[in-house]
Amino acid sequence: MTRGSSTARAAGIVTLVVAGLLGSAYVLGRSLVPDQAPRDATGVTTSADGPHYADQPSVGEPGGAPRASASASSDAGPAETGQDGSGQDAGGDKLFGAHATTGSPRLALTFDDGPDPRYTPQVLALLREYDVRATFCVVGENAQNHPDLVQSIVNDGHTLCNHSWHHDVGLGARSADAIRTDLLRTNAAIRAAVPDAPIVWYRQPGGAWTYPVVSVARQLGMTPLHWSVDPSDWDLPGASKITATVLTQAAPGSVVLLHDAGGDRQGTVDALRRILPDLTARFELEALPTDPT
């Protein structure tokens, strides 16, 4: 064997050893990197803090799956409504008779996705400070997990609204029996906490209205409830933007969409602290009636 071939063989052995060491180092490094938190189908990172919902407003279509849409968001402006409080969004999609205004000069604050042990008590305390009654659209699983907060909502004189069991944006595309089961299960969880409290409103998650979900809600004695002012607080724009949107768009008869759960709602709480002095000076605020007929 020549000297040149021995040198080449030695170089090849060294190369293989280095490659092996690099591969082992890569595997070791990957094992030390923590797994990323799983994301649900909505793209919201889940955690042990409780349910997180991406409550992006959308408008349902009859006979089809609800589609995500920004047409009902604050960028599109208030919904156009008929004399009975039902109406269409600015894009022309029907709300299937869902109420988008109070039907009176009074303004209604509504809070979705709760109750939540971190944010709902803060919202209740601020409403109590300004002697304001509101409407809370509660998710069934959260009502079941926090019956004491449902009781606090009712004890403070606020109105309750069914917001489905698990914040199912696609509920309206399911069968009538599936919709009925979901809504009844949610009502049962609410009534387990507050047996005598009326539940006469239903809000479809995401505003994804379809004829079947509206029809079943009405059959169960609940009036579908939409909104006319949406500051998109579900998208965490910050307290200043939430405040500006609500104060700019609020008008007599407005139904304002806010959230006290479903994610980090501290921005909403901070905005509410700024919003209430202005709104109470300009409008009469009301909890939606428990006899909407």
The domain that holds 196 is classified in CATH as 3.20.20.370
Q: Which is catalytic among the residues 93, 112, 182, 260?
A: 112
pTM beyond cutoff 0.85: no
201 three-state secondary structure: strand
- Give a yes or no: residue 80 inside a domain: yes
Between strands 159-162 and 199-202, the pairing is: parallel
Q: Which is catalytic among the residues 163, 167, 259, 260?
A: 259
- Give a yes or no: residue 149 inside a domain: yes
- Give a yes or no: residue 142 inside a domain: yes
**pLDDT tens figures, 11-33:** 554 454 444 544 444 444 443 33
From residue 137, alpha-carbon distances to 76, 78, 83, 126, 162 in Å are: 23, 20, 24, 18, 6
**pLDDT tens figures, 220-272:** 999 999 999 999 999 999 999 999 999 999 999 999 999 999 999 999 999 99
Give the Cα separation of 293 and 166 in Å (integer).
Answer: 27
Query: Do 51 and 142 form a contact (C-beta atoms < 8 A)?
Result: yes
Q: Is 108 left (phi over 0), alpha (psi -120 to 50) or beta?
A: beta
Question: Is 112 designated active site?
Answer: yes
Query: Do 234 and 119 form a contact (C-beta atoms < 8 A)?
Result: no
Model confidence band, residue 292 (pLDDT cutoffs 50, 70, 90): low
- Give a yes or no: residue 266 inside a domain: yes
Give the chain's domain count: 1
- Give a yes or no: residue 94 inside a domain: yes
Domain that holds residue 167: 58-282
**pLDDT tens figures, 131-172:** 999 999 999 999 999 999 999 999 999 999 999 999 999 999
Model confidence band, residue 51 (pLDDT cutoffs 50, 70, 90): confident
Q: Which residues contact 94 (CB under 8 A, 6 or more apart)?
A: 59, 88, 209
Structure-token match 């509504």, residue found = 110
Is the pLDDT assigned to residue 180 strictly greater than 80? yes
Is the pLDDT assigned to residue 114 strictly greater than 80? yes
Query: Do 231 and 109 form a contact (C-beta atoms < 8 A)?
Result: no
- Give a yes or no: residue 31 inside a domain: no
What is the sign, positive or negative, of the torsion defined by CA atoms of 144, 149, 153, 155?
positive
- Give a yes or no: residue 208 inside a domain: yes
Would you state the pLDDT for residue 9?
Answer: 55
- Give a yes or no: residue 92 inside a domain: yes
Question: Is 99 designated active site?
Answer: no
Average pLDDT over the chain, rounded to whole?
A: 79
Task: Compare 77 and 218 and report the one with higher pLDDT.
Answer: 218
Would you state the pLDDT for residue 291?
Answer: 83
